[in-house]
Amino acid sequence: MNFDHPAFAPYRSLILALDLAHALPELDHLNALADVRATRQSRGLPLRFVAPAGRLSARDYETHILQTGQVPTRADTWHDVLNALVWLRFPRFKAALNAAHGTAMGQEPDTLRGRRRDALTMLDESGVWVISRDPDLHILLAEHAWHTLFWERRQAVEREMRFVVVGHALLEKILAPYPSITGKCLMLGSDTLDPDAAEAQAVATLDTINSPHPLTPLPVQGIPGWDAANACATYYANQAVFRPARHAPA
């Protein structure tokens, strides 16, 4: 597999340790790294990646992690292995997502997933931390001003922003990238672009997310340098990919 895409940069050392470029890892290998890194879930239980006993509902999956520290993981699928990769790299964020799911489920009147859990699921599957030292760049992204942001302000984006993919389904798509791949943004204003420093802020920001609405969609291949083809201004003229913002009628 090709892990050269910039989205995998925060995971580079883990990719090498697991030799992901050549094969899917064994669960024992994932658990050995979890041991070395002292990975824990929100209740302080040691994290373990285990083969699932059967098909679990979303509620049962999150509850199982919360109660046991065991993450059901199909070691023969990239989807689950990349989920493990994010757990190993950003355990506080993943643990906070799991805990937030548990709290939200306890507040739902039935088994139907509410708006908060919709948002949490989107972040878990397709989340991107958008860290910026310039709040104006966040505004342009929220307004879907793609040409202005990624072309006219390109140097500012490269200097003042960092994009960290934390959604494992999104990482799976990026293994074979195409222009319309879309993530969901968690906006983080900061003086530093260090993803490790951003993790605590991302955890705190989860408390403010009560619906999918604030999670701005982001065509990730438009990020400068994430697709060689976006070095041309016309790349951003494709409105099937770079859609303008929808405004509510007056």
pLDDT at 83 over 80: yes
What angle do the packed helices 91-107 and 115-126 form, to 10 degrees? 160
Q: Tell me: do 80 and 134 sit in the same domain.
A: no
Tell me if 73 is assigned to some domain. yes
Predicted confidence at residue 249, as pLDDT, reads 38
Q: Tell me: do 143 and 217 sit in the same domain.
A: yes
Q: Tell me: do 100 and 11 sit in the same domain.
A: yes
Going by C-alpha positions, the residue among 245, 247, 225, 188 that lies closest to residue 9 is 225
For residues 155-180, average pLDDT? 98
Q: Tell me: do 181 and 223 sit in the same domain.
A: yes
Q: Tell me: do 41 and 93 sit in the same domain.
A: yes
Number of domains in the chain: 2
Q: Which residues are CB-contacts of 239 (< 8 A; sequence separation ≥ 6)?
A: none
Instruction: Give the integer Cα–Cα distance in Å for 250 and 248.
Output: 6
Q: Which residues are CB-contacts of 7 (< 8 A; sequence separation ≥ 6)?
A: 163, 165, 170, 171, 174, 220, 226
Predicted confidence at residue 53, as pLDDT, reads 87
Instruction: For residue 232, give its domain range.
Output: 122-237
Taking CB atoms within 8 Å and a gap of at least 24, the contacts of 11-14 are 11/85, 11/86, 11/89, 14/85, 14/88, 14/89
Predicted confidence at residue 68, as pLDDT, reads 97
- Residue 76 corresponds to which tokens in the numbers above? 């023969």
Residue 247: pLDDT band with limits 50, 70, 90: low
pLDDT at 248 over 50: no
Q: Tell me: do 101 and 155 sit in the same domain.
A: no
Tell me if 1 is assigned to some domain. no
| Lowest-confidence segment of 70-74, 83-87, 108-112, 149-153 by average pLDDT | 108-112
Predicted confidence at residue 192, as pLDDT, reads 97
Q: How far is CA 144 from CA 140, 185, 216, in A?
A: 6, 12, 8
Q: Tell me: do 97 and 165 sit in the same domain.
A: no
Q: Tell me: do 170 and 219 sit in the same domain.
A: yes
Q: Tell me: do 133 and 68 sit in the same domain.
A: no
* Residue 144 main-chain phi, psi, to 5 deg: 60, 35
Q: Tell me: do 137 and 233 sit in the same domain.
A: yes
Tell me if 153 is assigned to some domain. yes
Tell the residue number behind the tokens 């990239």, with chain if given. Answer: 78
Average pLDDT, the chain: 95
Residue 4: pLDDT band with limits 50, 70, 90: very high
For residues 74-79, average pLDDT? 97
Tens-digit pLDDT profile for residues 98-141: 999 999 988 877 777 889 999 999 999 999 999 999 999 999 99
Q: Where are the alpha helices (DSSP H) in the chain?
A: 12-18, 27-36, 58-68, 78-89, 91-107, 115-126, 135-142, 146-147, 154-160, 168-174, 195-205
Tens-digit pLDDT profile for residues 201-226: 999 999 999 999 999 999 999 999 99
Q: What percent of the chain has pLDDT over 90?
A: 90
Predicted confidence at residue 111, as pLDDT, reads 73
Q: Tell me: do 170 and 193 sit in the same domain.
A: yes
Q: Tell me: do 93 and 149 sit in the same domain.
A: no
